[in-house]
Amino acid sequence: MTRLHHNRNWKIAVFGREHGVPHFHLWWPDGRASINLETLEVIIGNPPAVLLAEARTWANENRERIWTE
């Protein structure tokens, strides 16, 4: 696991070489979700729409960094 980004409301950690499809975990104060690295679709969890949009934007802007971690 590599923690790549955080702000006051959420953080992202990449689990690219772990079990299943390459994904990142999105944590926020009341929950967590797993997001597919290729499609940015939610695998598990139900993140608030605003947090999911912010995480997807960050992931799109940092795709190269995510895949090299």
* pLDDT of amino acid 62: 85
Rounded distance between C-alpha atoms, residue 19 and residue 5, angstroms: 21
- The number of C-alpha atoms within 13 Å of 21 and in the hemisphere containing its C-beta is 12
Per-residue pLDDT of the chain (69 residues), as tens digits, is 455 666 677 677 776 555 678 888 898 999 999 999 889 999 999 999 999 999 999 889 988 877 776
